[in-house]
């Protein structure tokens, strides 16, 4: 305990470091009687959908159970990529060659879309196209990455290149890995500022954003829908559910149980270190790229937009834990990669939920007339923004091409109700063990 508390800086907080500059502001909590489109969930997906719908002239209300932007969208690592996790030759097994290409392209299109949205809406969110370095945990991972880099470059045209171990220090101040892949079409932003800016853009376009309304059920009524909430009922002609990793609350209620049964919420944790001299940061992060490694239980880390802190993220636990208990675990992971960071203290540690799917793909679609957009596998800054936009075009009947992530078979497993607590520790433990075995074998 004494050792752990020595790691925590005075004034240590369990709220996101991002909230120091951009905590989600409080908004009106009055439930409207009616909206053309009701969007449930005020993260990037819901806000991006609202922005597009409002621009197309629709009357939109976004309802969030907490605050607009309160979920993963103001807690994440701020790493922006164009579907790097989706694009892989392994897609061909289930979707065939053409299907795999269409899916990889649809995912890659999220990257130009978010860049365009930030520029068009003038969102001040510290966006930089800094590139991503994906270091390999083992030599076999390096070979698999090289195959993936080829697939990404060939199918999506996004530039990628491999950096062998002997040149690794050009991208990362550590010898912990076995070389890696550089993806130049990747960026970084301040997620809190981006969530705030996207919300303001949606409001400017005419969307109504409402805090503190938890939707507990959606039923058909006439040609539209009636939403029951903890603040009364509301009617809407169309509904989009964008609740992602928060689709089922602690009491087991959900706006759309069908969706909750298809999403696996997983807690991801991040720590922020105290301030570090610029020379150290230059040595640890030459090129100041975003980093996410190839472990099954991955580490992702980056310099803060202010350039003087390390933000280190990972899955500190697969069981119930709190950010203060997760902090020493992440600190240990960080010190393994950067031994010189061992003496750094932690000023903030926080958590948020990501949503995995059973087929590892993001999805939009319609079920029982209700639209949904979800399942970004922990990589949704660009993707959730894109999925929300694409779902909005579909609702508005304004699509002019077929979107390959729309209407795919969306699997679940028997008896799964949206609560993974009974199997996550087992699968997470198995993944960690496989990471150790792989490394030992290397
Ligand atoms: C710690 C962490 C690090 C991450 N790092 C990265 C990264 O570096 N790069 C990257 O690309 N992605 C990252 N992600 C993933 C990314 O943040 C998410 O994919 C993205 O923010 C999802 O946006 P969303 O709008 O779908 O969901 P969210 O932002 O989670 O929003 C869902 C909202 O729905 C609301 N809600 C839930 N149920 C109801 C209900 N019944 N009624 C009303 N409202 C409801 C919630 O209050 C919440 O605000 C990270 C996520 C986490 C948690």
> Is the pLDDT score of 316 beyond 80?
no
Question: How far apart are alpha carbons 267 and 346 in whole angstroms?
Answer: 19
Which residue, by CA, sits nearest to atom 25 of ligand 1? 43
| Confidence (pLDDT) at 153 | 87
% of the chain residues with pLDDT over 90:
85
The answer, yes or no, to whether residue 213 has pLDDT greater than 70, is yes
In tens, the pLDDT along 271-301 reads 999 999 999 999 999 999 999 999 998 999 9
Helices (H), 109-229: 110-121, 139-156, 191-205
Query: What is 291-340 written as a DSSP string?
Result: EE---SS-EEEEE-TTSSSEEEEE---SSS--HHHHHHHHHHHHHHH-GG
Please give the distance, rounded to the nearest whole angstrom, from the Cα atom of residue 374 to the centre of ligand 1. 9
∠ CA(204), CA(209), CA(211), 5° rounding? 150
Question: And the tokens for 321?
Answer: 């834990």
Eight-state DSSP code of residue 73 = G
pLDDT tens track for 323-345: 999 999 999 999 999 999 999 99
pLDDT digits (tens, 9 = 90+) for 69-114: 999 999 999 999 987 778 776 788 889 989 989 999 999 999 999 9
Average pLDDT, the chain: 95
Q: What is the pTM of this model?
A: 0.97
What sign does the CA torsion over 11, 15, 18, 23 have?
A: negative
Using CB distances shorter than 6 Å, the residues near ligand 1 are 40-46, 63-66, 70-73, 75-79, 214-215, 242-246, 255, 268, 270, 300, 313, 352-354, 374, 376, 378-381, 384
Which residues contact residue 223 at a Cβ distance below 8 angstroms, ignoring those fewer than 6 apart? 237
Q: How far is the CA of 45 from the centre of ligand 1 (A)?
A: 8
From 45, 63, 73, mutation site for ligand 1 pocket: most ligand atoms within 8 A of C-beta = 73
In sequence order, which ranges of 215-322 are alpha helices (DSSP H)? 257-260, 278-284
β-strands 232-241, 34-40 pairing: parallel
At 362 the pLDDT is: 96
Instruction: Name the closest-CA residue to atom 15, ligand 1.
Output: 378
Q: How far is CA 282 from the centre of its chain?
A: 27
- Mutation test of ligand 1: which of 40, 43, 299, 351 has the most ligand atoms closer than 8 Å to its C-beta? 43
């Amino acid at each position: 305990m004494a050792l752990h508390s020595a790691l925590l800086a005075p004034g240590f907080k369990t709220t996101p470091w991002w909230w120091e500059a951009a905590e989600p502001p409080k908004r009106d909590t009055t439930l409207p009687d009616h909206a053309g489109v009701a969007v449930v969930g005020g993260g990037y997906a819901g806000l991006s959908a609202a922005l597009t719908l409002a621009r197309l002239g629709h009357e939109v209300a976004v309802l969030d159970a907490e605050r607009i932007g309160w979920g993963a969208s103001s807690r994440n690592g701020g790493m922006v990529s164009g579907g790097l996790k989706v694009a892989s030759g392994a897609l061909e097994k289930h979707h065939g060659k053409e299907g795999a290409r269409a899916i990889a392209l649809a995912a890659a299109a999220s990257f130009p879309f978010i860049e365009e949205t930030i520029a068009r809406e003038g969102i001040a969110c510290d966006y930089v196209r800094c590139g991503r370095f994906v270091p390999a945990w083992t030599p076999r991972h390096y070979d698999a990455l090289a195959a993936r880099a080829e697939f990404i470059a060939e199918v999506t045209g996004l530039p990628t290149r491999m950096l062998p171990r002997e040149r690794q220090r050009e991208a990362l101040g550590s010898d912990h890995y076995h070389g890696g892949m550089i993806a130049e079409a990747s960026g970084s932003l301040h997620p809190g500022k981006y969530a705030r800016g996207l919300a303001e853009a949606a409001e400017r376009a005419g969307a109504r954003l409402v805090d503190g309304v938890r939707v507990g059920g959606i039923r058909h009524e006439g040609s539209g829908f009636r939403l029951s909430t903890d603040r009364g009922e509301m009617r809407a002609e169309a509904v989009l559910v964008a609740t992602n990793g928060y689709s089922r609350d602690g009491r087991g209620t959900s706006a759309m149980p069908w969706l909750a049964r298809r999403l696996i919420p997983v807690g991801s944790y991040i720590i922020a270190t105290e301030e570090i001299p610029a020379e150290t940061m230059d040595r640890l992060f030459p090129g100041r790229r975003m980093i996410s490694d190839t472990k099954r239980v991955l580490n992702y880390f980056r310099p803060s937009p202010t350039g003087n802190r390390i933000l280190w993220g990972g899955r500190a636990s697969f069981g119930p834990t709190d950010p203060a208990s997760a902090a020493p675990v992440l600190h240990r992971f960080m010190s393994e990669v950067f031994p010189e960071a061992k003496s750094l203290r932690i000023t903030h540690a926080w958590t948020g939920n990501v949503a995995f799917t059973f087929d590892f793909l993001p999805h939009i679609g319609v079920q029982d007339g209700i639209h949904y957009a979800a399942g970004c596998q922990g990589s949704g800054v660009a993707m959730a923004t894109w999925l929300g936009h694409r779902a909005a075009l579909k609702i508005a009947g304004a699509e002019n091409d077929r979107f390959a992530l729309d209407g795919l078979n969306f699997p679940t497993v028997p008896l799964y109700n949206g609560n993974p607590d009974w199997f996550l520790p087992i699968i997470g433990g198995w993944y960690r063990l496989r990471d150790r075995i792989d490394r030992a074998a290397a």
